[in-house]
Structure 1
Amino acid sequence: MRHAVATIDNTAAAADASHTELGPTGRPRSEFSEPAPLKGHGPARVIALCNQKGGVGKTTTTISVGAALSAYGRKVLCVDFDPQGALSAGLGVTTHDDLTVYDLLLSGKIDPHDAIKPTHVDGLDVIPANIDLSAAEVHLVGEVAREQILARVLRSVANDYDVVLIDCQPSLGLLTVNALTAAHGVLIPLECEFFALRGVALLIETIEKVKDRLNPALQLDGILATMFDSRTLHSREVLDRVVEAFGDDVLETVIGRTVKFPDASVAGMPITEFAPEHNAAKAYRQLARELVARGAVA
Structure 2
Amino acid sequence: MGKIIAIANQKGGVGKTTTAVNLAAALGVLEKKILLIDADPQANATSGLGIDVESVAIGTYQLLEHTHAAKEAVVTTESPNVDLIPAHIDLVAIEIELVDQEQRELMLKKAIEPLREQYDFIIIDCAPSLGLLTLNALTASDSVIIPIQCEYFALEGLGKLLNTIKSVQKIHNNALDIEGLLLTMYDARLRLSNQVVEEVKKHFDEMVFDTIIQRNVRLSEAPSYGESIINYDASSKGANNYLSLAEEVIKKNK
TM normalised by structure 2 equals 0.97
Distance 1:116 1:211 in 2: 28
SS of residue in 2 equivalent to 1:197: coil
Q: Which runs of 5+ in 1 are unaligned?
A: 1-42
Structure with higher Rg: it is: 1
Alignment of 1:110-189 (within 5 A): 110-189=68-147
1:61-115 deviations in Å (ceiling 9; x for gaps): 1111111111111100000000000000000012334111101111x34121111
Gaps of 5+ in 2: none
What pairs with 1:1-298 in structure 2 (closer than 5 Å)? 43-97=1-55, 98-106=57-65, 108-295=66-253
Stretches (4+) displaced over 4 A: none
Q: Which amino acid aligns with 1:189?
A: P
Letter in 1 for 2:42: Q
Count of residues in correspondence between the two structures: 253
Conserved in 1, the CA contact under 8 Å of 2:187 and 2:215? yes
Letter in 2 for 1:91: L
For the Cα contact (< 8 Å) 1:117–1:126, is it kept in 2? yes
Alpha-carbon RMSD: 0.9
Identity %: 40
| Amino acid in structure 2 at the alignment position of 1:215 | N
Instruction: For 2:251, give the aligned amino acid.
Output: A
**Amino acid paired to 1:252:** D
Tell me if the contact between 2:154 and 2:196 (Cα under 8 Å) persists in the aligned partners. no
Letter in 2 for 1:103: Q
SS of the equivalent of 2:53 reads coil
Equivalent residue letter for 1:133: L
Contact 2:17 2:44 in 1 (8 A): yes
Shift of 1:263: 1.2
